[in-house]
Copies of this chain bind each other. A is one copy, B any other.
């Protein structure tokens, strides 16, 4: 049995930004296969009665988080600029990521979208932004935009968000290893270690 880990994230989530920048290299180093699971945090927050991110709704926590991000990005050795628009909506980016989740360029695509948002402070919602991002990867940009916008993909993103809620996901980033949930960028390494040591894996290696 292969070591696999599901990575549930939202392009608007600042702590998902840190995980997205690190996760592919960390997983590869340990031989863990990643499953990219973009979903929409908005409906999850709304079902908790929040009109926006808790970092917007709870002012004291919000103030803290922007300071914590400076420190955490320094720790992770990645660039950081606080977005002037937060949380940025990005349904198209999520649809592209869902349509391309099994493609070899998925990691690079997700990092580029995240860097637009959290380093360049640029919008990530428009078709032109997504076209350019895909073009930079050297893939069939218009083809993937078309796939992202067809009804199957739209429905699949809705289903994936429903599935997140059904599985008890309440924030992002969230890592799932079998039935084990790890929430937050602070738990990324624990999740990967768990993927390496979970009983099913030990069994498979005997």
Contacts and interface: CB of A to CB of B under 8 A. Distances in A.
Interface in A17-45: none
Contacts of A127: none
A58 interface: yes
Interface in A26-75: 48, 58, 60-61, 63-64, 67-68, 71, 75
Contacts of A12: none
Interface size class, chain A: 20 to 34
A60 B190 contact: no
A170 B64 contact: yes
Given A60-B168, A60-B170, A63-B168, A186 B183 contact: no
A14 to B, nearest CB: 15
Given A71-B190, A190-B71, A181 B64 contact: yes
Nearest to A190: B71
Contacts of A173: none
A155 to B, nearest CB: 24
Interface of A: 48, 58, 60-61, 63-64, 67-68, 71, 75, 165, 168-171, 181, 183, 186-187, 190
Given A60-B169, A63-B168, A68-B187, 6 more contacts: A60-B165, A60-B170, A64-B181, A67-B181, A75-B190, A186-B186
